[in-house]
Structure formats: C-alpha cells, structure tokens
Amino acid sequence: MKIVVQRVKRASVKVNNEVTGKINRGLMLLVGIHESDTKKEIDWCCRKISRLRIFEDEEGKMNRSVEDINGGILVVSQFTLYGDTRKGTRPSFIEAAKPKVAEPLYDYMIDRFKQITNLLIEEGKFGAMMEVDLINDGPVTIIVEK
C-alpha cells in the first residue's frame, strides 16, 4: 500500500463536474493499493494516518494529528502510484491491484476511517476520471507505505 498524504487548507474532488467529496482543513489522501494488500494493511494505515502528527501546535511544532484539530479526510484512489518507470518511458502498472481486489479494499478504508474516527470522511469515486483540487498547507506531503 502506498498513500500520499497531503496536509491541506481545503480539498475537493469532482467526477463529471459533480463534487463527490470536499473537506476544509485536514488531509487529502491519494491511495494506491498493491496486488498483495489486505485489510490488515488498511487497518494499519488508517490508524497511522489518523494519528500522524503533522499539524502545528501553539509553538509552531508539528505536534497535532488530524483528529486533534478535528479536520477532515478526503480519500482518492490512485492506482498510478504503482507505476513502474524502470524500463522504457511508459509506466507499467502490473503491481497495482486489479479493480475487483482494489475497490473492496478502498471501500473498506473509507468505512474503517469512519469507524475509528469521528471526523468528516469524504471520497472520490473509485475507477473514475477525477478532478482533484487542493490547497496544500505548508506544503506538507508525506508518503505512508505498508
């Protein structure tokens, strides 16, 4: 599993000019699911990300989590995170989970965040062509891999 975590002032995702997810201050996640991933990796990532201390406290130190600031989480599937560019100039996506495996795990991730937090959890649409709009805060971008 590979997740790009971006601290944002706001973020939204559209499919066919319709907003499917929108948050204010919080985390925007681009989620790549590997062919060998299971619910175990999702559980670990959800716990890690919800507690990741990348928001500033009163002293300006990154000491608060998205839970601490009562932020939102916007989850967007992105199989292209597993694009392998070692050979040639056209990425290979052979390590990315196929939709029949990835989509249930993506849905599980959304549900898991809703179970373990009281935060606003928004989402893109799995497999759709999406327009993602965000204001990166910092910028702060972290890659979480499991």
Tens of pLDDT along the chain (146 residues) come to 999 999 999 999 999 999 999 999 999 999 999 999 999 999 999 999 999 999 999 999 999 999 999 999 999 999 999 999 999 999 999 999 999 999 999 999 999 999 999 999 999 999 999 999 999 999 999 999 99
Gap between the Cα atoms of 105 and 107, Å rounded = 5
Query: Is domain 2-140 classified as CATH 3.50.80.10?
Result: yes
Task: Look up the pTM and report it.
Answer: 0.95
Residue 91 is predicted with a pLDDT of 95
Candidates 38, 80, 85, 117; catalytic one: 80
Contacts of 44 by beta carbon, 8 Å cutoff, 6+ apart: 146
Residues 49/3, Cβ–Cβ less than 8 Å = yes
Residue 18 is predicted with a pLDDT of 97
Active site residue 80: yes
Beta-carbon count within 10 A of 119 CB: 19
Gap between the Cα atoms of 118 and 130, Å rounded = 26
